[in-house]
Structure 1
Amino acid sequence: MQMTSKKYFPSLLLTLSLVGAGEKLSAQTLTLQQAVETAVANYGSIKAKTNYLSASKATVLQSKKEYLPNLNLSAQQDYGTVNGQNGPLYGLGLSVASSGLPLAHQNWNSAFGALYLTNVNWDFFAFGRARERINVSQTVVNRDQADLEQEQFQHSVRTAAAYLNLLAAQRLIRSWENNLERANALKTVVVTRAKNGLIPGVDSSLANAEVSNAKISITQARDFEQEQANTLARLMGITDQRFQLDTLLLSRVPRVAADSAAKPQNHPLLRFYSNRIAVSEQQAKYFHTLAMPTFSLFGVFQGRGAGFSSNYAADQTAYTHNYLEGIKPVRYNYLLGIGATWNMTSMLRTRQQVMSQKFVSNALKEEYDLADQQLKNQLILSETKIGNAITNYREAPVQVQSASDAYLQKSVLYKNGLSNIVDMTQALYVLNRAETSRDIAVTNVWQAVLLKAAASGDIGVFLNQ
């Protein structure tokens, strides 16, 4: 089975954008650990790959039992004629095995007959063919097990990312609500002063526009929050989209944020690619055994009955139509033997088959190297993102404080007629932007740590925080 790295790797390259806001609608808090565990337990693709793994394990048992001897039991009871004819035949197609001497003329004398047969056949030696078939089945189990683990890992990363996105969306709504409150307060001041003739009437129009813009922004934020809730619910395999998340997660930055970069080791994705290579190489070994001869032991025991008498050749009336007499076995034979079969031309076919499988192995190795390179580059990028996110996290409070001071100053100046509405709305915008940056700064640190966990192959680096 061939699969390219493009199918599995993109979910590890996390581009995590955080915008908008949302509503807290439920009363029960959903922790990050609970969200990931629920997602891994419920998601359809993980359940499917669990069944694929079970099927592979059953195939191993089947392969082991393929080495057992074949034991065939056969019984037949017939009614017909026994006319014989001299002449050569080849066992091609369907024919009857009536055993009678070639008489001088055709007759239609009929009687009952029976054959009871036990056959044992055992391919006891085929230069390791059975063993290699079992090994192929076992490596398929290992591959499917690794496939399940990497799917669980990647889905854990996707779920954690969706959880953080929703948490950021819900956190940001406070900034937009604060912005609406300030816009309403400004509108009240502006309308009062305009009615008293202290400022132009156009200022009240601008204030109304700011209030309307703040309301639209909240609506858009809540729409985005619902999209993130929908994404999280889909990844968790549930339909309820009313979440109250664990906000304590954002009360601090993760400790691992300052850790030095570690090389990806034993990454679930790389283990999966490694097992794909192992399956291909094991299949090549199995194909090689198909060119070798097969040694077999066999034994037969049979009993036979017939309604025709032993002197039927001399007396064509020496037969009976009695059913019980015809099916009763009266002659027995046994046979024991050893044999070998070798299709000499199979070497020409299997040689090309082995070469083809080796090329497949080489292709899988190239895909492994590509995934390994991408993971290493992603790990380097995650370290840079962690550093940048921490810098922004530390700078965000300074920005908020400065913007708050500027807004307060412009507000006082405007109320005293020393500033205009344009400067006031600009200060309002700067303060809202600063609060928004502050709200997502800590989330971006967690997202960067998640990116590192995805690249290093250890989700515990993130969940254990």
Structure 2
Amino acid sequence: MWNKPKPSLLLFPILFFVSLSLSAQVLTLNEAVETALANYGTIKAKNNYLSASKATLQQSKKEYLPNLNLSAQQDYGTVNGQNGPLYGMGLSVASSGLPLPQQNWNAAFGALYLTNVNWDFFAFGRAKERIHVSASIVDRDRSDLEQEKFQHSIRVAGAYLNLLVAQRLTQSWENNLERAAALKNVVVTRAKNGLIPGVDSSLANAEVSNAKISITQARDFEQEQANVLARLMGITNQQFTLDTLFITKMPQSIDDSATVSKNHPLLKYYSNRVAVSNQQAKYFQTLGLPVLSLFGVFQGRGAGFSSTYATDQHAYTQNYFEGIKPVRANYLLGIGATWNMTNLLRTRQQVLSQEFISSALQEEYNVVDQQIRNQLILSENKIRNAVANFREAPIQVQSASDAYLQKSVLYKNGLSNIVDLTQALYILNRAETNRDIALSNLWQALLLKAAAAGDFGLFLNQ
């Protein structure tokens, strides 16, 4: 009788095939870039810098609000007074009492309740310029984030192409090992039958060993490139199955001319650095100008000393609640102006220093702009050279393959020697390697062009 399989036995092959399909999932270039932009630490850091700049901008906007101070104090002490000049350096008490003929130690409670409003309502645009500086810093940090994303996308794409060609080179060396192993079998068999010298088998063994060493070196290079890609993506998994489109198909529009974009992320960042410095110079100019202020004060005061204490030193109470109860109140409203005129001398040099910084930042912008334009010219030349190599690569592979086949047939029929055959094997492997590299170099040149033009879509849209 047929037995119904256990659920666990049915579940095992399902899980096996699911895990197998997940492990073999192809990582596209877009997915690699998106993962990198989401995980890479430098981009996360610059996101936080941008958030900090935005918070500083909001703080600058609130700097224009009036200052509102509330104060309350309750004290216990004496009120002996003394005639004489003083300078308020903030280290003396403010006890109020008439100068008496002699010292006494009568003490009572007192209190002061204070509300103060102060508003610098006009400072010749100082608050406005401070807001402009903060806003320009936000623009600078935002452009810094965008240029970091752009450059990191270029780095990830470059690492992706490098790993792809490394994997293809490993496959080429594996094919070379298969050919060397097949040759070894033929040579060993013929040597055992006395048809060829025994030294041929030694040469064949050496060729197989060389092919194995080359595979190990190719895998080592592939692992290095996988490590670079994983590091740029911000992950630890280094087993990648990549999209082979970039080594099987030419770009669609490699001959299209490109110019440096006005919104090139890197140039925009350097331009915003200059803008921040210029805005800071404008702000510094306002620091030497006067400040007009409105102010108001309301004060309530309590004391345990009577108004007749000057004539009767017994007219006071040490009752806490009587001492802290406000019995007198005063208010004050006013308008004032302050101007530290020597600030004009200080700010003049400060503005001059900032203007020199702006000039330096402008020169750095010019250097980067020149480098980008030269890079664009270089990328066009690299594309032309890569196209020429790509068109020659199939011819080289076909010719080398025909030559190897011919030498192999001649050798099997005793019409050629092992040296000529291994040389043909080497030439075929070199041709396959050049073929693998040729198309990758074309995509790398296009990537360089996209980086110079400031348009990553120029590469992705191919």
TM-score w.r.t. the length of structure 1 is 0.94
Name the residue aligned to 2:17: none
Describe the SS at the equivalent of 1:116.
Answer: strand
Displacement of 1:266 in angstroms is 1.6
Displacement of 1:262 in angstroms is 2.1
Alignment pair present for 1:328 and 2:325: yes
Name the residue aligned to 1:182: 179
The answer (yes or no) to whether the contact 1:80–1:112 under 8 Å persists in 2 is yes
Name the residue aligned to 1:19: none
In the alignment, which of 193, 203, 206 is matched to residue 196 of structure 1? 193
The answer (yes or no) to whether the contact 2:247–2:436 under 8 Å persists in 1 is no
Partner Cα separation in structure 1 for residue 350 and residue 51 of structure 2: 28
Unaligned runs of 5+ in 2: 1-20
Describe the SS at the equivalent of 1:255.
Answer: coil
The Cα offsets for residues 64-97 of structure 1, whole Å up to 9 and x where unpaired, read as 1000000000000000000000000001141100
In the alignment, which of 284, 300, 303 is matched to residue 297 of structure 2? 300
Name the residue aligned to 1:147: 144
Name the residue aligned to 1:283: 280
Pick which of 151-160 and 164-173 moved more: 164-173
Name the residue aligned to 1:20: none
Displacement of 1:414 in angstroms is 1.1
Partner Cα separation in structure 2 for residue 394 and residue 31 of structure 1: 26
Alignment pair present for 1:83 and 2:80: yes
The Cα offsets for residues 141-198 of structure 1, whole Å up to 9 and x where unpaired, read as 0000000000000000000000111111112222111111110111111112222222
Name the residue aligned to 1:420: 417
The answer (yes or no) to whether the contact 2:260–2:454 under 8 Å persists in 1 is no
Alignment pair present for 1:99 and 2:102: no
The residue correspondences of 1:367-382 to structure 2 (distance < 5 A) are 367-382=364-379
Partner Cα separation in structure 2 for residue 166 and residue 429 of structure 1: 24
The answer (yes or no) to whether the contact 1:25–1:244 under 8 Å persists in 2 is no
The answer (yes or no) to whether the contact 1:264–1:376 under 8 Å persists in 2 is no
Name the residue aligned to 1:137: 134
Partner Cα separation in structure 1 for residue 285 and residue 102 of structure 2: 56
Alignment pair present for 1:316 and 2:318: no
Partner Cα separation in structure 1 for residue 234 and residue 208 of structure 2: 39
Describe the SS at the equivalent of 1:370.
Answer: helix
Alignment pair present for 1:165 and 2:153: no
The residue correspondences of 1:395-406 to structure 2 (distance < 5 A) are 395-406=392-403
Partner Cα separation in structure 2 for residue 26 and residue 318 of structure 1: 94
Alignment pair present for 1:459 and 2:456: yes
Partner Cα separation in structure 2 for residue 174 and residue 258 of structure 1: 31
* Counterpart code for 2:426: Y
The residue correspondences of 1:189-268 to structure 2 (distance < 5 A) are 189-268=186-265
Partner Cα separation in structure 2 for residue 92 and residue 378 of structure 1: 64
The residue correspondences of 1:322-401 to structure 2 (distance < 5 A) are 322-401=319-398
Describe the SS at the equivalent of 1:334.
Answer: strand
Partner Cα separation in structure 2 for residue 49 and residue 112 of structure 1: 56
Name the residue aligned to 1:30: 27
The answer (yes or no) to whether the contact 2:184–2:205 under 8 Å persists in 1 is yes
The residue correspondences of 1:93-132 to structure 2 (distance < 5 A) are 93-132=90-129
Describe the SS at the equivalent of 1:118.
Answer: strand
Higher relative contact order (Cα pairs below 8 Å, separated by 6+ residues): 1
* Counterpart code for 1:321: Q
In the alignment, which of 269, 272, 278 is matched to residue 272 of structure 1? 269
Name the residue aligned to 1:442: 439
Displacement of 1:257 in angstroms is 1.2
* Counterpart code for 1:238: I
The Cα offsets for residues 201-234 of structure 1, whole Å up to 9 and x where unpaired, read as 1111111000000011111111111111111111
Describe the SS at the equivalent of 2:293.
Answer: strand
* Counterpart code for 2:74: Q
Name the residue aligned to 1:40: 37
State the aligned residue count: 442
* Counterpart code for 1:62: Q
**Identity over the aligned pairs, expressed in percent?**
80
Partner Cα separation in structure 2 for residue 44 and residue 179 of structure 1: 41
Displacement of 1:286 in angstroms is 0.4
Partner Cα separation in structure 2 for residue 149 and residue 347 of structure 1: 39
Partner Cα separation in structure 2 for residue 436 and residue 153 of structure 1: 31
Describe the SS at the equivalent of 1:452.
Answer: helix
Partner Cα separation in structure 2 for residue 254 and residue 321 of structure 1: 94
Aligned-residue RMSD, C-alpha:
1.2
Describe the SS at the equivalent of 1:245.
Answer: coil
Describe the SS at the equivalent of 1:94.
Answer: coil
Pick which of 185-194 and 108-117 moved more: 185-194
Alignment pair present for 1:71 and 2:52: no
Displacement of 1:417 in angstroms is 1.4
Name the residue aligned to 2:14: none
Describe the SS at the equivalent of 2:335.
Answer: strand
Partner Cα separation in structure 2 for residue 223 and residue 349 of structure 1: 62
Partner Cα separation in structure 2 for residue 249 and residue 426 of structure 1: 30
* Counterpart code for 1:355: L
Partner Cα separation in structure 1 for residue 298 and residue 33 of structure 2: 63
The answer (yes or no) to whether the contact 2:246–2:439 under 8 Å persists in 1 is no
Partner Cα separation in structure 2 for residue 320 and residue 102 of structure 1: 20
* Counterpart code for 2:277: S
